[in-house]
A = this chain, B = another copy of it.
């Protein structure tokens, strides 16, 4: 049987993140873990170094990453016969006003036209991805 799960290279993981815009951010808020969906974009500096950017309004997400920068991020795609999931961990920080313009140069698009004022950058320290060929074994079960 072919291996149904393949590990993606770091480059394949970044390519996947480049091609998507919806992810989920997990962060600490005091002693709790929280998770929220985020629209994100991959930013790239002159040397090709990549980070993730997203916008956020004032709120627990922002307070959480200011108090504890340790975050995890996930983006995935589920098709009929395959699924892909990329997981990253890193350090988040709120960009200062001088840097906020970076969010204008990437396709960082909000779902709705609610104003969002802060830009958060995640410096990625670990990234991994898995691609699943979906056997959906239950569909082949004979009752």
Which A residues contact B (CB, under 8 angstroms)?
Answer: 4-5, 22, 24, 26-28, 31-37, 70-74, 76, 78, 83, 85, 87, 89, 109-114, 132-138
Contacts and interface: CB of A to CB of B under 8 A. Distances in A.
Which secondary structure dominates chain A's binding surface?
strand
B87 A111 contact: no
B89 A109 contact: no
Given A24-B74, A26-B33, A109 B134 contact: no
Interface centre among A26, A70, A136, A137 (most CB of B within 10 A): A26
A37 B75 CA distance: 9
Contact of A70 (B31, B113, B133): B31
Given A35-B26, A35-B35, A74-B36, A132 B112 contact: yes
B37 A33 contact: no
Contacts of A87: 34-36
Contact of A113 (B26, B73, B137): B137
Nearest to A26: B26
